[in-house]
């Protein structure tokens, strides 16, 4: 087993953990929260997101670790096997960085920060419904995309590893 194999294994593991996390939001957390009224939905999301926003150590280790492991895999592949053979690894890794991390930074973090800033107790029912609608639809749509990408990247990296 060489450095590229180790790097691929760490990337597969970390991307799979991140994929599993966002997959859980797609199939359990958000569908569960969707059964709540607007006030409770927004408050429940604030509470669950606050755990992440407060830099929960294992979450941060996994999330940041996936970025670092993917970047390391790109570097190791280009150095050890060169671009002619490593381009596929680099492409799949960039898809993860853009499709999972990029969507998170561009879409989810701003939406989550907006929800965190809402003073729920100061909003009437109409304002609560409006805030939820603006948030929930967009958040879920892009979460399905990043979940699909994360899972696909994990599978593709696994295929690449087994074909080496």
d(CA 128, CA 140): 18
The rounded Cα 80 to chain-centroid distance in angstroms is 28
- What is the domain count for the chain? 1
- Three-class SS of 99-144: HHHHHHHHHHHHHHHHHHHCCHHHCCHHHHHHHHHHHHHHHHHHHH
Does residue 83 register a pLDDT over 90? no
Give helix 82-96 / helix 3-24 axis angle, nearest 10°. 20
Does residue 154 register a pLDDT over 90? yes
Q: For the ranges 12-16, 84-88, 93-97, which has the lowest average pLDDT?
A: 84-88
pTM over 0.75: yes
Centre a 10 Å sphere on the Cβ of residue 151 and count the other Cβ atoms it contains: 18
The DSSP call for residue 34 is T
Summarised one tens digit per residue, pLDDT across range 27-36 is: 999 999 999 9
d(CA 123, CA 108): 22
Domain ranges, residue 55:
3-163
């Amino acid at each position: 087993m060489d450095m590229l194999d180790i790097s691929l294994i760490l990337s597969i593991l970390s991307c799979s953990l991140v994929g599993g996390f966002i997959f859980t939001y797609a199939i359990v957390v958000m569908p569960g929260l969707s059964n709540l009224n607007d006030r409770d939905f927004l408050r429940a999301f604030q509470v669950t997101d606050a755990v992440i926003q407060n830099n929960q150590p294992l979450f941060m280790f996994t999330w940041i670790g996936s970025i670092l492991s993917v970047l390391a895999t790109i570097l190791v592949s280009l150095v050890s096997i060169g671009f002619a053979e490593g381009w596929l690894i680099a492409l799949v890794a960039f898809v993860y960085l853009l499709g999972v991390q990029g969507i998170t930074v561009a879409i989810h973090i701003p939406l989550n920060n907006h929800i965190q800033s809402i003073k729920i107790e100061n909003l009437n029912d109409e304002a609560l419904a409006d805030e939820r609608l603006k948030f929930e639809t967009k958040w879920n749509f892009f979460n399905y995309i990043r979940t699909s990408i994360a899972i696909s990247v994990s599978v593709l990296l696994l295929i690449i590893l087994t074909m080496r």
